[in-house]
Each structure stands twice: as C-alpha cells, then as structure tokens.
Amino acid sequence: MGRKLADIFNECYERLLQGESVESCLKRYPKEATKLEPLLKVASTLHTKAASIQARPEFKWQTGIRLEGAFLYNQRQKLAAVKASISLRRSWALALTIILAALIAGAGTAAASTQALPDEPLYPVKLATEQVRLSLAFSDIAKTELHARFAENRAWEIAQMVPQGESTNIVMVTERLDAHLEQAEECALHTPTVKAPEEKALAPTPVPAPAPLVTSATAPQSAKAAKLRTFLEYSAARNIATLEQALEQAPEEAKPGIRLAIEMTKKRYEKILKRIEERGGLPSQGEPQAEEENTFPSLPQLPEGNFREEGRIPHIPLWFDHKP
C-alpha cells in the first residue's frame, strides 16, 4: 500500500467516524475505490465489533461515585495542606518577627542604656546588659577585666551625678563600684598560674646565661596575665582620675563619700594587681613594683586626650577577644 492510499484511507476512516458512509467516501476517491473499499469495510466492521464492548452501566455508575468521593477527599487534603502550610508560615513569620523585634529593640535599648544614670529608666537595662556580658565570659581573666570595666562605668556615673547633687545615688553607685572591684579581685585569684622554670640543682653553670622567665608552654598564659595587668593599671588610672575629677566638682557634703571611694578603689586595684603578680603575671615593662603592702603602685601615664570626651566612655576593645 502506497503512502498516498494510506493517507486517503485514514481520511476516509475519520469521515466514517464522523458519520459518513463508505459509499460516500468511495465517491470522493473513484480511482482508489477498488483498493479502498475492502479496507474501509474492515475498519467499519472492526469499529462496530469494538462498539459492542460496553461496560456494565452499574459499574460505570459505581466507579463514578467512587471517583467523586476520591475527588472530594483529594480536595479536602489539598485544602488541609494549604491551611497547614499557611499556619506554619504564619507561625514562623510571627516567631521571626518577635525574635527580630526583640533583637533590634534589645540591641538598641542596650546601646542606648550605656549612658543611663541610676535615676533613669534605662539604668536597669544597663546593669542587666553587664550581667549578661559577665555570664558570657568564661575565663577568670575575662571576668576580671569585665568587672574592672564595669567599675569604671560606676566611676563615670559618680562623676556625672556629682553636679546634680545625687548624694543618695552616689553612695549606692560607690558600693557597686567597690563590689565590682571586689569581684575582680576574687576572679584574679583564680586566673591560671604561670610557673617560672625550675632551676636544676646540680646543673653546671660555668657561664650563666640569662634564662627565660617562662617556658614556651607557659608563654601564652604569661602573656595573658601581663596584658591583664597592663589593662588593670590603665583601668585603675582612668578610674581614679575620673573620681578625682568628680571630687574637684563635688559639693562639700559629697566630698567625703568620693574621697572614700577613691581610697577604696586604690586599695582594690592594688590587691587585684598583687593577685595577678602572685599568679605569675609580669609587671608591665619598666613599671616599678610595689615595695610595701597596701601601697598603691605608681600609675602609668594615661593616653593623651580626654577619654571622657563628650561624656562618652571610650571604647576599649576586649583584648581577650583578640588572642595573638
């Protein structure tokens, strides 16, 4: 069978399906009628025979009912899934919003609270933020430094309150200042010990070379202790300078309290530095050691410029956050 006849046969079969008769189709193609007629009759017969294959009406109806039920079930499932998805997304969105709001508000509030004074609403936030920072500090060295920093904050607050004559709050803040330094001393007691190298008793010493004070294993600890000591010296200098500045501006009735605060602060720093030294921390380079107990060592020179410029506490990076 040539391709042309195949196409004609196919076209005629389509016409049969549309209701046209075999005879009508043959009249359209008289030249191919002889070959086309038996094929169309076979196709028509097959179609008629196949048409006798019918499903039972009750089966078709039952299947329709079952499909209807399945369709409704699917729709409900989709709807439930969509609802669950929306609910989940809403929950996540709500949770994220709350977290973001808390973070933004918390960070903003905490930042704003750094300048708060005891009689201001944000002061509790300031103290709470300090407590959080302390709780996040794991080493005693870090805790010692933080307590010293917070003691500086209290000194700054005293200096700010003096012109306002907040005598009650000054006493309260002085107690807090002392408490921080007391805790700094306690933490300094637990800083890691840096041992000096042991001398070999029978070792020949024909030419005594200058031995290192610490072994390579203890060097990092020693470096940390030395840094802490340096920081505490500067902290003491800043703290006392602030309090002395406050003393100059303070009214007469407030001066005894501030003098007491200065004395207490000097003694506390002295003890803290002594603890650090006992644990192996080296005194800062060129710094004379305290010769007598309860004598405050001479303070290092403060950095140039007013570190309380514009009433702001200068930002001092936490050195233990930047390990060498």
Partner 1 sequence: MADISGVADEVLVREAIGGNQSAFAQLYDKHFDKIYRYVYLKVGIRVEAEDLTQEVFLKALGAISSYKWRQVPFSSWLFRIAHNEVIDYFRKQKKKEKTHFNNNVYDTKEDPVMVAESSFEKGELMAALQKLSPAQREVISLRFSSELSIAEVAKTLGKREGTVKALQDSATVALRKILSKKKNG
End-to-end CA distance of the chain: 92
Sign of the torsion formed by the C-alpha atoms of 109, 112, 113 and 116? negative
If the CB atoms of residues 45 and 164 are measured against partner 1, the closer one turns out to be 45
Residue 89 binds partner 1 (CB under 8 A): no
Residue 18 binds partner 1 (CB under 8 A): no
Residue 81 binds partner 1 (CB under 8 A): no
If the CB atoms of residues 6 and 211 are measured against partner 1, the closer one turns out to be 6
Residue 184 is classified by DSSP as: H
Per-residue tokens: 203: 């070792």
Cα separation, 274 vs 297, whole angstroms: 10
CB of 1 to partner 1, least distance (A): 5
Cα separation, 90 vs 227, whole angstroms: 51
Cα separation, 195 vs 214, whole angstroms: 7
If the CB atoms of residues 64 and 165 are measured against partner 1, the closer one turns out to be 64
Among 4, 17, 215, 303, interactor with partner 1 by CB under 8 A: 17
Q: How far is CA 38 from CA 28, 127, 140, 222, in A?
A: 16, 104, 105, 109
CB of 31 to partner 1, least distance (A): 17
If the CB atoms of residues 39 and 170 are measured against partner 1, the closer one turns out to be 39
CB of 90 to partner 1, least distance (A): 23
Residue 322 binds partner 1 (CB under 8 A): no
Burial 143-153 (b: 16+ CB within 10 A, else e): bbbbbbbbbbb
Residue 74 binds partner 1 (CB under 8 A): yes
CB of 9 to partner 1, least distance (A): 6
If the CB atoms of residues 76 and 312 are measured against partner 1, the closer one turns out to be 76
Binding residues for partner 1, how many (CB under 8 A)?
A: 39
CB of 54 to partner 1, least distance (A): 7
Binding mask 33-72 for partner 1 (x = CB under 8 A): -----xx--xx-xxxxxxxxxxxx--xx--xx-xxx-xxx
Burial 20-53 (b: 16+ CB within 10 A, else e): eebeebbeebeebeeebeebbeebbeeeeeeeee
Within a 10 A sphere around the Cβ of 139, how many other Cβ atoms? 14
The SS3 call for residue 111 is helix
If the CB atoms of residues 65 and 202 are measured against partner 1, the closer one turns out to be 65
Q: How far is CA 113 from CA 107, 118, 128, 144, in A?
A: 10, 11, 10, 22
Write the secondary structure of 151-179 as one string of H (helix), E (strand) and C (coil). Answer: HHHHHHHHHHHHHHCCHHHHHHHHHHHHH
If the CB atoms of residues 76 and 89 are measured against partner 1, the closer one turns out to be 76
Interface region with partner 1, contact rule CB under 8 A, candidates 3-11, 168-176, 177-185, 212-220: 3-11
Q: Tokens 């000054």: give the residue.
A: 170
Site for partner 1 in 129-188 (CB under 8 A): none
CB of 77 to partner 1, least distance (A): 11
If the CB atoms of residues 44 and 139 are measured against partner 1, the closer one turns out to be 44
Q: Tokens 């506490």: give the residue.
A: 313
CB of 133 to partner 1, least distance (A): 55
The residues that touch partner 1, with contacts defined as CB under 8 A, are 1, 3, 5-7, 9-10, 13-14, 17, 38-39, 42-43, 45-56, 59-60, 63-64, 66-68, 70-72, 74-75, 78
